[in-house]
Amino acid sequence: MYNYLAVKDTIFKSNITLNCKGKLIEFDTPIIMGIVNTTPDSFYKGSRNKSIEDALEITKQFVKQEVDIIDVGGYSSRPGAQEINELEELNRVIPVIKAIKHHFPDLIISIDTFRPKVARLALIEDADIINDISGGQFDTSIFKVASEFSAPYIMMHMRGTPKNMQSKTQYKHLIKTLILFFSKQIKMAQNFGVKDIIVDPGLGFSKTLEQNYDIIKHLDLFNVLDKPILVGASRKSMLYKFLDITPDESLNATSIINTIALTNGAHILRVHDVREAMELKKIFTFLNRTIE
């Protein structure tokens, strides 16, 4: 449509490649990850899917909107969330993953879990990526699972658990602490044989409102890790509490913070609203395209 000289839609200094169980997938533009919750108590009611049919319907919408990855989760990690047992988590996510893969066999699925058994069974059912909010802190054997299946591993920073994490927000040097955490955990994961690692600073997880914005402002500093950066700010309290609105009213704020995140070095956006994120991706990519 716009043929200004020769345009190549490659905007990152080095392309992201993910080896999903032997299948090499290359991304040279921002990646949009759509959230498919199977939890009844997600902080954003618009993402609460009460049945396999609900989850499949939102997935169908996301596919039409050209989503890159679907992130399926069955354990609510909102602040103060109550724990559920492993069996309940499995009963929530495995049928959904099977249904999605049946209808969309080529769709990349991430399993949002910190439990090695859940991750393993999800990968057996053809999920592709592990998204671990604990960054391997709860059980290092999740690294073994990622290595065994050659699955990319998303490593998030968090202190404590979802139930108590907001009491653990004291940092002497926030960004330095996070980078040191990732350096240590990346080395550990690599020692287990994990090849592809994505880092997620963990907005809203053991961070104050101000700290969340500090991370976004200094996101480029995480490039020292030489790993793709995932940002999950979608409709979070850092937006709606700051603006004194509700999660339902925070779509515009989400688009704003996601634009800033991409500008400051994010590679992957984890979102509830795929259509709007895809529009952002297309505009951002066009404005930052490489002219050959």
To the question of domain 7-291 being in CATH 3.40.50.1010, the answer is no
Model pLDDT, residue 6:
41
Residue 54's φ and ψ, nearest 5 degrees, are -60, -45
Whole-angstrom Cα distance, residue 92 to residue 89? 5
Whole-angstrom Cα distance, residue 27 to residue 16? 5
Contacts of 23 (CB under 8 A, 6+ apart): none
Domain chopping of the chain, boundaries: 7-291
Higher pLDDT pick, 284 / 17: 284
Q: Examine the pLDDT at 82 and tell me if it is beyond 80.
A: no
Q: Which of 8-17, 126-135, 186-195, 253-262 has the lowest mean pLDDT?
A: 8-17
pLDDT confidence of 10, banded at 50, 70, 90? Answer: low
Question: Of the listed 60, 270, 282, 289, which one is catalytic?
Answer: 270
Question: Of the listed 115, 207, 236, 281, which one is catalytic?
Answer: 236
pLDDT (mean) for 263-269: 96
Residue 270 is a catalytic residue: yes
Per-residue burial over 177-188, b if 16 or more Cβ lie within 10 Å, else e, is: ebbebbeebbeb
Question: In this predicted model, what pLDDT tens digit does every residue of 165-220 receive, in sequence order?
Answer: 888 899 999 999 999 999 999 999 999 999 999 999 999 999 999 999 999 999 99
Contact (CB, 8 A) for 178 and 135? no
Higher pLDDT pick, 167 / 261: 261
Model pLDDT, residue 113:
97
Higher pLDDT pick, 236 / 290: 236
Whole-angstrom Cα distance, residue 176 to residue 95? 40
DSSP letters along 20-76, please?
ETTEEEEE-S-EEEEEEE--S--SSGGG---SHHHHHHHHHHHHHTT-SEEEEE-S-
Whole-angstrom Cα distance, residue 16 to residue 26? 6
Question: In this predicted model, what pLDDT tens digit does every residue of 11-69 receive, in sequence order?
Answer: 666 667 888 877 788 778 999 999 999 877 554 455 455 688 888 999 999 999 999 99
Model pLDDT, residue 2:
38
Long-range contacts of 170-177 (CB under 8 A, 24+ apart): 171/211, 174/207, 174/211, 174/214, 174/215, 175/214, 175/215, 175/218, 175/221, 175/222
Estimate the crossing angle of helix 251-263 against helix 209-217, to 10 degrees.
40
